[in-house]
Structure 1
Amino acid sequence: MRRIVKQATNKCVICRRVAGKPYADPIAAPLPGYCVQTSNPFEVTVVDFTCALHIKRDNRDTKVYTCLFTCAATRAVHLELVPNLTIKSFLNAFKRFTARRSLPRLMILDSATTYIAARDQIKTLMDSPEVNNYLAEKRATWKFIPWYGGFWERIIWTN
Structure 2
Amino acid sequence: MGQLPAARVNQSHPFQHCGVDYAGPIAVKHGGRQSKVTTKAYIALFVCMATKAMHLELVSDLVTSSFLAALRRFIARRGKPSHMYSDNGTTFVGADNELKRFLSNDATVESVVNFSTSEGISWRSTPPRAPHFGGLWEAGIKCMKSHLKRVIGNAVLTFEELTTVLIQIEACLNSRPLCLLSDDLYSPAALTPGHFLIRQPLCAHPEPSLCP
Pick from 119, 127, 148: which aligns with 2:109? 127
Displacement of 1:126 after TM fit?
4.3
Structure 2 residue matching 1:103: 3-state secondary structure: coil
**Bigger radius of gyration, 1 or 2?**
1
Pick from 82, 87, 99: which aligns with 1:110? 87
Q: In the alignment, which residue of structure 2 is the partner of 1:157? A: 142
Q: TM-score, normalised by structure 1?
A: 0.77
Determine if contact 1:108/1:144 at 8 Å carries over to the other structure.
yes
Unpaired runs of 5+ in structure 2?
145-212
Q: 1:126–1:43: structure 2 CA closer, same or farther, 3 Å change rule? A: farther
4+ runs deviating over 4 angstroms: none
The CA distance in 2 between the partners of 1:104 and 1:126, in whole Å, is: 20
Structure 2 residue matching 1:150: 3-state secondary structure: helix
Displacement of 1:55 after TM fit?
1.2
Q: Aligned runs of 1:26-37 on 2, under 5 Å?
A: 28-37=1-10
The RMSD of aligned alpha carbons is 1.4
Q: What amino acid is aligned across from residue 123 of structure 1 in structure 2?
A: S
The CA distance in 1 between the partners of 2:40 and 2:122, in whole Å, is: 30
* Count of equivalent residues: 131
**How many percent of aligned residue pairs carry the same amino acid?**
34
Pick from 54, 78, 82: which aligns with 1:77? 54
- Does residue 63 of structure 1 match 2:44? no
* Deviation digits for residues 98-143 of structure 1 (CA, Å, limit 9, x no counterpart): 0000111110001112505122211226412x32221111110111
Q: What amino acid is aligned across from residue 109 of structure 1 in structure 2?
A: S
The CA distance in 1 between the partners of 2:115 and 2:27, in whole Å, is: 30
Q: TM-score, normalised by structure 2?
A: 0.59
Unpaired runs of 5+ in structure 1?
1-27
The CA distance in 1 between the partners of 2:125 and 2:143, in whole Å, is: 23
The CA distance in 1 between the partners of 2:123 and 2:143, in whole Å, is: 26
The CA distance in 2 between the partners of 1:140 and 1:31, in whole Å, is: 22
The CA distance in 2 between the partners of 1:100 and 1:74, in whole Å, is: 17
Determine if contact 1:46/1:152 at 8 Å carries over to the other structure.
yes
* Deviation digits for residues 26-74 of structure 1 (CA, Å, limit 9, x no counterpart): xx43111110010000001101001211111222111100000000111
